[in-house]
Amino acid sequence: MACAGHLVLLLLLLPTSMAWGPIPFLSHKGIGEACEGHSECQSHCCVTNSLNPRTFCTSRTIFLKCLSWQKPNSHTCSEHSECQSNCCVTTNDSMKMFCKPKTIFLQCIPWRKPNGHDCTDHTECRSQCCIMPNEVSHHRCIPRSGLLAQCLPM
């Protein structure tokens, strides 16, 4: 009889619990599963993890950061943040941008033109020296000269 009483009580409570509306289904996907938002993942981290633009559930860093995959050195890029090295620069005179490692002093240095190449600004040259060697020629990258290694015409 007590069992029947509990059953009746449950049946009476059922319509009121249904009035609250459907309970949202939270999907907690595992690492490597495709996702569209952070809330879908157990790690709460949904980012790209390869050159593929699709997003996947990914583990967080030891500092609990949710980081997108970044391109290794020699991949094409358009900005520093795309690269693991955080360095996206031109590597030759084609002006294409590539991920490149930083120097030992953590500098991100772009490719510069060797001596003899046409230039428009000092920053384009390895020697940091772009001048017109004479009145009839174009501006060219030239080596620095003199006792103080200045940018002087030869």
Question: 19-59: per-residue pLDDT in tens?
Answer: 444 445 556 899 889 999 999 999 999 998 887 888 999 99
Establish if 7 belongs to a structural domain: no
145 has pLDDT over 70: yes
Tell me what pLDDT residue 6 has: 53
Establish if 81 belongs to a structural domain: yes
Establish if 22 belongs to a structural domain: no
Count of structural domains within the chain:
3
Tell me what pLDDT residue 19 has: 47
77 has pLDDT over 90: yes
Range of the domain at 83: 70-108
pTM higher than 0.75: no
- Torsion, CA 146, CA 147, CA 148, CA 151, rounded to 10: 0
Tell me what pLDDT residue 13 has: 53
Residue of 96 and 150 predicted with greater confidence: 96
Q: What share of the chain is helix, strand, coil (3-state, %, to 5)?
A: 20, 20, 65
- With cut-offs at 50, 70 and 90, classify the pLDDT of residue 107: very high
Task: Say if CB 36 and CB 57 are below 8 A apart.
Answer: no
6: region left, alpha or beta (phi > 0 left; psi from -120 to 50 alpha)? alpha
Establish if 1 belongs to a structural domain: no
